[in-house]
């Protein structure tokens, strides 16, 4: 079903609409998430503001309504039971979209295809939303195929000695909601101006069991909280971006932490930007300041910022 909406919604899923394959992929992903969470899906189309003194050309409202109706049809084809709200706005697209998602559980946006010249420019809507939204943001690649069952959640763990409880909690909750496997990936790559000093460590696999044990220790409390989640831990040598892209596949979502600092694309670290550029699956960025309603033990240490 669908309902018109311009009032503020709460606890819903928001997706932007446009006449692009990336936007349609984002709407499909958002519809599945809204259905799985049992919440309303709000589709938002933002019309560019007309400069003062310029004459109107055509009917932008009519075009925007068409995009929303098209998005509604795409959403209902993907998730027939989801309730869809439609919002037609005007102004700066990222600002309006982020504002509609202030009280949302999730904001979903489409990213240009990596093969396109614009890719993820610093001023792109995808990076703008990911850097500014207060809720988690999923960036869906244009070539993403409709996958009705999410099979794997991939979480990037930079350092088991540093904490990001919100990301860990969100990842376990997402895995339980979709009955998906949760893969925690920890990649290690020495950063030193003296490569000879660590040459032996780079090629010595002896550190792997110790690192894996630290990661497992950090996950103990969440294993007990989410006993039904199938969990695997992968500790690998190499760059984090390479490891996460390699771990992603069709039917996956890669989850990363986003800095507490709100702002444009500079709020995203190099690993997040690299994964957004290269991943062929949706990438979810969870603000480090995100809180949840359940009490998460403060003794947990987990995912560090990328």
CATH of the domain at 162: 3.40.50.620
* pLDDT tens column, 193-239: 554 444 444 444 556 677 788 888 889 999 999 999 999 988 888 88
Residue numbers of the domain that contains 187: 152-287
Task: Calculate the alpha carbon distances from 240 to 52, 182, 190, 256, 269 in Å.
Answer: 48, 17, 12, 11, 12
Which tokens is 149 given? 């069952």
* pLDDT tens column, 101-126: 999 999 999 986 554 434 555 557 77
pTM above 0.85, yes or no: no
Has residue 297 been placed in a domain?
Answer: no
194 CB-near residues (< 8 Å, 6+ apart): none
Find out whether 113 and 143 touch, Cβ atoms under 8 Å: yes
Has residue 134 been placed in a domain?
Answer: yes
Has residue 305 been placed in a domain?
Answer: no
Domain boundary among 141, 165, 191: 141
Exposed / middle / buried, residue 99 (Cβ in 10 Å: 0-12, 13-18, 19+): middle
Number of CB atoms found within 10 A of residue 130's CB:
32
* pLDDT tens column, 236-265: 888 889 999 998 887 789 999 887 555 444
* pLDDT tens column, 149-168: 789 999 988 766 565 788 88
pLDDT at 80: 95
Q: Are residues 134 and 167 in the same domain?
A: no
Has residue 294 been placed in a domain?
Answer: no
Number of structural domains found in the chain: 2
Distance (Å, rounded) from C-alpha 134 to C-alpha 140?
Answer: 18
């Amino acid at each position: 079903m669908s309902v018109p909406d311009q009032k503020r919604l709460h606890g819903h899923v928001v997706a932007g609409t446009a006449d692009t394959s990336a936007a349609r992929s984002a709407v499909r992903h958002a519809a599945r998430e809204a259905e799985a969470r049992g919440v309303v899906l709000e589709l938002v189309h933002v019309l560019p503001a007309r400069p003062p003194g310029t004459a109107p050309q055509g009917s932008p409202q009519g075009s925007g309504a068409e995009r929303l109706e098209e998005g509604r049809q795409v959403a209902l084809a993907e998730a027939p039971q989801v309730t869809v709200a439609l919002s037609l706005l005007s102004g700066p697209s990222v600002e309006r979209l982020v504002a509609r998602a202030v009280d949302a559980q999730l904001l979903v946006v489409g990213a240009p295809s990596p093969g396109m010249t614009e890719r993820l420019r610093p001023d792109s809507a995808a990076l703008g939303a990911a850097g500014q939204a207060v809720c988690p943001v999923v960036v869906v690649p244009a070539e993403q195929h409709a996958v009705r069952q999410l099979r794997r959640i991939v979480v990037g763990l930079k350092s088991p000695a540093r904490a990001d409880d919100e990301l860990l909690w969100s990842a376990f909750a997402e895995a339980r909601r979709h009955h998906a496997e949760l893969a925690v990936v920890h990649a290690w790559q020495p950063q030193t101006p003296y490569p000879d000093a660590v040459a032996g460590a780079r090629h010595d696999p002896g550190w792997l069991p110790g690192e894996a044990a630290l990661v497992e220790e950090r996950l103990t409390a969440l294993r007990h909280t989410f006993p039904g989640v199938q969990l695997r831990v992968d500790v690998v040598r190499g760059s984090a971006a390479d490891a996460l892209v390699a771990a992603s596949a069709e039917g996956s979502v890669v989850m990363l932490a986003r800095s507490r600092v709100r702002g444009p694309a500079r709020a995203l670290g190099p690993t997040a930007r690299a994964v957004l550029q290269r991943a062929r699956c949706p990438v979810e960025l969870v603000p480090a300041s995100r809180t949840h309603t359940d009490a998460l033990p403060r003794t947990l240490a987990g995912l560090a910022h990328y």
